[in-house]
Structure 1
């Protein structure tokens, strides 16, 4: 069995900076959700407004949108970070650029979803989806490049 000494590219700091910036997108979601909760009048521990509340009160509806946007972010951030950190080992500059695109797209997604409901998330979704898919493909390629050569 062969072993490898893993060297991190000098540009890997860009990758780590983008990874760290994604943590602030979660904080942005938190702030949007707190604002929407306060405006809706829904108190803790209520996680979502009921269907009836959301249909009657636009503020309750937007609170549900803020909650769902944050949940969606939390669902996607781990795979994004994994793809970013792996792909960055072989393609640090491209990974950092795509990662920055994902962070931008997810910020746009959050702002759009929380201000105008599901239709407002579309443009941010497409940006983040394309960047995320490219990072995942690059992560697989980076892994293959590190396989032992026969």
Structure 2
């Protein structure tokens, strides 16, 4: 067994900064969803307003949209952060930039989805591109680490 020494680039702090910004985006999603829950008067533990209620009450429909935007964010958060942290070992500034862009696009996604329904989410859908690039870069980073073994 051989040892692999990993040196973290000095610029890796930018990756930590982007991750911290993303944590605040999660808080934004929580506050947004909570405000729409109160406006729609949807009690806990209900995750969504029923379809019948949402079809008749715009506040309930907007709550459902905010809730779904937040759920989508949380579903994608672990893999994006992982890709950003891995790719940041080789491409710290680019990875941090992708993280910052992903964070902004997730706010736009939530705002668009909540205000204009499912079609409104397209304004922030570019987050998928940032996610893909981060994953490709993390794959390349992993390859470079593995290739040092041979």
TM-score range, shorter chain: over 0.9
1:19-30 aligned within 5 A:
19-30=19-30
- 1:77-126 per-position Cα deviation (integer Å, ceiling 9, x unaligned): 0000000000000000111111111111111101111111111110201x
Report the TM-score when normalising by structure 1.
0.96
5+ residue gaps, structure 2: none
RMSD: 0.9
Aligned residue number for residue 33 of structure 1: 33
Distance 2:47 2:137 in 1: 37
How far has the Cα of 1:149 moved from its partner?
A: 4.2
Aligned residue number for residue 46 of structure 2: 46
Distance 1:149 1:46, change over 3 A: closer
The structure 1 segments of at least 4 consecutive aligned residues displaced by more than 2 Å after TM superposition are none
Distance 2:56 2:110 in 1: 23
Distance 1:26 1:68 in 2: 13
- Mean CA deviation greater in 35-44 or 129-138: 35-44
Aligned residue number for residue 62 of structure 1: 62
Aligned residue number for residue 128 of structure 2: 129
Secondary structure, in 3 states, of the residue corresponding to 1:121?
Answer: helix
